[in-house]
Structure 1
Amino acid sequence: MQTEINNALKALKNGGLILYPTDTVWGIGCDATNPEAVKKVYELKQRIDSKALICLVADDRMLKKYVKKIPEVALNIIEVTDKPTTIIYDDAQNLAANLIAEDGTIAIRIPDDEFCFQLCRKLNGAIVSTSANLSGFPTPKSFKEIQQEVLKGVDYVVNLHHEKICDKPSSIIKLSNNGVVKIIRE
């Protein structure tokens, strides 16, 4: 796994895109602080950049770098949830501007996956994580279902878990600083 982390890290640091297994589905990723790399993700997915992307961070300490004020309930949800949960936070900061939604929010997940955890740690930052498909096409359930355009459009394909079936995207919850909680995807 260490070789794969090093190879993916090199691509990320060079502004490249990676294709990697997450705690949910196969993802297209890049350094979440690099606007040029984020732009490449939107171009590869053929997706309008007003549709926000998810980021992964290693832990709540890293989360604090990217969200001005983390609602108390967020840490409780992260602690007790038994399935991958992405939380949309108000007041994103220190990320590529084209990654932050028009309303200033950002969707972030702390993955329960050793590869993702180590990659975020070594990068010392957030990694974009969007499903490995072109916009409008179904999310691939396995590596075999990933479209050729996606495979050819990334700079590095992580050679781990190619046999893994991943058919459950994360739950998405929006937590506003005013205390409003909204379930976006169960």
Structure 2
Amino acid sequence: MDIIAEAVSILMHDGTVVYPTDTVYGLGADAFSDEAILKVYEAKKRPLGMPISIAVSDADMLHAVARTEPWMDPFITTFLPGPVTVVLPARKSVPMILTGGTGLIGIRMPSHPLALELIRTFDAPITATSANLHGTKDPQVPDECTVPRELLIDGGRLSGTPSTVVDLTGKRVIRAGADIDRVAKFLLTL
């Protein structure tokens, strides 16, 4: 069994997988399974009520979990896939625990081929939070992935700069990270 097939099997059984992205290592679990999501919160020692982003593999998957307006499309198509998390209104299919009760969901579409293959093969969104204990350094190499998990997909050394988080509904940057200059300039055009 190859590593992607093994990872998908783990995800299908509410397990957790560490995977490489274009920024840092992520902790992935089935974004539609309450049991799997709780494992992510427990693994990270992250307080419940704090939102957790999800990763998708394409625009169809993004539109299945979030509502967008036509004016948002240029931003989404420019920056996804890439090192940007877009915060959008969540559809009812998204578990409320992931939104932290805000009704909004952070969405990543990483440009890392292993991450995209994993999500595409699983055929559903997975959690997209860094694979470290809450409040500690974002993991750039496998040895820095400090969370319990069933499997780690080694992607070597990653950039280490977390994604820029953009609340697209409010046209504002929530967290400056990778590609911030280009993101900030583009937001001014919306």
TM-score by length of 1: 0.87
Contact 2:21 2:158 in 1 (8 A): no
Aligned partner of 2:157 in structure 1 is 164
Contact 1:78 1:85 in 2 (8 A): no
Q: Distance in 2 between matches of 1:119 and 1:90?
A: 25
Q: Does 1:185 align with 2:183?
A: no
Aligned partner of 2:119 in structure 1 is 120
Percent sequence identity is 30
Contact 1:34 1:95 in 2 (8 A): no
Aligned partner of 2:76 in structure 1 is 78
Unpaired runs of at least 5, structure 1 = none
1:8-157 aligned at under 5 Å gives the runs: 8-67=7-66, 69-81=67-79, 83-147=82-146, 150=147, 153-157=148-152
127 and 6 in structure 1: CA distance in 2 versus 1, 3 angstrom threshold: same
Q: Distance in 2 between matches of 1:171 and 1:5?
A: 27
Residue 136 of structure 1 deviates from its aligned partner by: 2.0
Contact 1:64 1:70 in 2 (8 A): yes
Q: Which amino acid aligns with 1:81?
A: F
Residue 27 of structure 1 deviates from its aligned partner by: 1.0
Contact 1:65 1:93 in 2 (8 A): no
Q: 1:174 aligns with which of 167, 179, 185?
A: 167
Deviations 1:120-155 (CA, angstroms, capped at 9, x unpaired): 1111110101111111211122222223xx1xx211
Contact 1:35 1:97 in 2 (8 A): no
The alignment's C-alpha RMSD in Å is: 1.7
Contact 2:20 2:112 in 1 (8 A): no
Task: Say which is worse superposed, 51-60 or 96-105, in terms of deviation.
Answer: 96-105
Aligned length: 175
Secondary structure at 1:12 match in 2: helix
Residue 11 of structure 1 deviates from its aligned partner by: 0.4
Contact 2:46 2:134 in 1 (8 A): yes
Residue 181 of structure 1 deviates from its aligned partner by: 0.9
Q: Distance in 2 between matches of 1:91 and 1:17?
A: 23
Q: Distance in 1 between matches of 2:107 and 2:158?
A: 23
Unpaired runs of at least 5, structure 2 = 177-190
Residue 92 of structure 1 deviates from its aligned partner by: 3.1
